[in-house]
Amino acid sequence: MSQPTVSVLVPTFNRVNYIAECLDSLLAQTVPPLEVIVIDDGSEDGTADLLASYGHRIRHIRKENGGKPTAVNLGIQEARGDLIWIFDDDDVALPDAIETRLAALTGCPDAGFVYSPHYYGSDGPDGRIVQGRLHAVPEHDPDSFFAELMLGCFFHLATALVRREVYLQLGGFDTQLLSSEDYDMQLRLACTQKAVRSSAPCFIFRQHSGLRGAKAIRYVGADRSKVFRRFDQRVGRKLRADVDLRDYLPRHAGTGDEGSMREAALLARMQVMASKGCLPEMLEDLRAVLALTDGKPAQGAAMVRKAICTGYAWSAMEDDWTDFRASLSELKAMPGGQGLVRAMALGCLAMAKGYPGTLSERLGKGRAGLQLWLNSIF
């Protein structure tokens, strides 16, 4: 059988200082792509002239600025390859990136996509990328892959080669997400497709302080976490609306009576909601658990403590601290509710004691833990 062909899609907006190094790395692959399609999302910085210098070596499509999802969706429609690799315009591919992932995918023909580790990188003195530390990725059991990904994004979409028909079946990227659109797609892929892991890193993820995002939400690197949290909340609420409760547990999870399985699924969804900073949804699931178990959830306290330390939970609590504490009253009034509030307090204290951060940040978490502990009593 002939080897699958690869279309590389590079959405770009005002990255004339980085995109040449990106394209050169894609054109120097040991297994060449069928095509490199650059979708210029309305750049205003000389990108068009630079792309013209590549001539027939790339396909250049220009459109009005609408954000990465609209650019990528256009590229998917234009792509001719069997597999699609979506690659960011400020990153640099390793020479054997296509070769190593094709080998992994060939060994697992029923997989819908392959993913891999990557390196972090930074700008060198001459502006070219300098390779840094490795970001390793786990090889989760297929039954738990989706559940683990809902808790946190452990691989980068730029490491994925995805079958083109899969992207088409999923209807492309959500154009309402001007950030976290990659994570949303990764979740949709994991929900419907088998994944295979390649052990070889495939690219260098450039860390820089320059501007990011579409015109509508342009932001600097220092604000990245804040922007991601806002859009990850939307992703969390999409999961809540679209994913059946049972699917928050690993597939083929152990058997049990209907009540215990529902309790486990509610607690798993509670952790996912916490990780996305969706605090009202987190509390709703906790109230449902207490009602289901007559205030005696088997693993409730341990999972709540862990949830508070996960993802964006603390950031969301900190931003709306007064409202969050007030929202605990209904939970605390239920049988078993005081114990869950104490578990939240222990989560905050655990972060204050053992998590990275400045002294001021750790003291803030410690104070929050003490306040929640008092909340659970009075």
Distance CA 324, CA 19 (A): 44
According to the model, what pLDDT value does residue 255 have? 64
User: How do beta strands 35-41 and 6-12 pair?
Assistant: parallel
The long-range contacts involving 357-364, CB below 8 angstroms and separated by at least 24 positions, are 364/318
According to the model, what pLDDT value does residue 61 have? 97
Q: Which two tokens stand for residue 103?
A: 């080998």
Distance CA 275, CA 306 (A): 10
Render each residue's pLDDT in the chain as its tens digit; 378 residues: 689 999 999 999 999 999 999 999 999 999 999 999 999 999 998 999 999 999 999 999 999 999 999 999 999 999 999 999 999 999 999 999 999 999 999 999 999 999 999 999 999 999 999 999 999 998 899 999 999 999 999 999 999 999 999 999 999 999 999 899 999 999 999 999 999 999 999 999 999 888 877 777 887 877 778 888 899 999 999 999 999 999 999 987 766 688 899 999 999 999 999 999 999 999 999 999 999 999 999 889 999 999 999 999 999 999 999 999 999 999 999 999 999 999 999 999 999 998 888 999 999 999 999 999 998 887
According to the model, what pLDDT value does residue 212 have? 79
Q: What is the 3-state secondary structure (H, E, C) of the chain?
A: CCCCCEEEEEEECCCCCCHHHHHHHHHCCCCCCCEEEEEEECCCCCHHHHHHCCHHHCEEEEECCCCHHHHHHHHHHHCCCCEEEECCCCCEECCCHHHHHHHHHHCCCCCCEEECCEEEEEECCCCCEEEEEEECCCCCCCCCHHHHHHHCCCCCHHHCEEEHHHHHHCCCCCCCCCCCHHHHHHHHHHHHCCEEECCCCCEEEECCCCEECCHHHCEEHHHHHHHHHHHHHHHHHHHHHHCCHHHHCCCCCCCCCHHHHHHHHHHHHHHHHHHCCCHHHHHHHHHHHHHHHCCCCCCHHHHHHHHHCCCCHHHHHHHCHHHHHHHCHHHHHCCCHHHHHHHHHHHHHHHHHHCCCCHHHHHHHHHHHHHHHHHHHC
Distance CA 107, CA 298 (A): 42
According to the model, what pLDDT value does residue 1 have? 60
Cα-based distances in Å from 100 to 95, 105, 159, 267: 10, 9, 11, 38
According to the model, what pLDDT value does residue 223 have? 74
Q: 354: Cβ–Cβ under 8 A, 6 or more apart, which residues?
A: none
Q: Which two tokens stand for residue 369?
A: 């833990």
